[in-house]
Amino acid sequence: EDIPHPQYKEIIERFVDWFKDTYGTDRCYDIIKGDKEYSRRVCPGIVEAGYYKMVELLEEYGVIEE
C-alpha cells in the first residue's frame, strides 16, 4: 500500500493555484465555453503544461528525482 507524501495536500493546492492563475479557472467549461472544436486545439496543451508543472512540483518536494 502506498503511503501519501506528508505534504501531498500542499502539492495539490499549489498545482490548483498554478492552474487557476494560468488559465483563470479550474473548470473545463469556463476555458472552452462549450466549444468542442476549440477544446481540440487548446486542451492538449493544457494537459501537457499541467503534466510538466506536476513533475516540477514532485521534483521540488522530493517525490521523484530529476
The pTM (predicted TM-score) of the whole model is 0.86
Average pLDDT, the chain: 94
The set of residues, in sequence order, having a beta carbon less than 8 Å from that of 5 and lying 6+ positions away, is: 11, 61, 63
The three three-digit cell numbers of residue 58, written as one number: 514532485
pLDDT tens per residue across span 42-65: 999 999 999 999 999 999 999 998
Please report, for the chain, the start and end positions of each structural domain, with discontinuous segments joined by +: 8-60
Judge whether 34 and 27 are in contact, CB under 8 Å. Answer: no
Judged against a pLDDT cut of 80, whether residue 3 lies above it is answered with: no
Burial of 33 from C-beta contacts in 10 A (0-12 / 13-18 / 19+): exposed
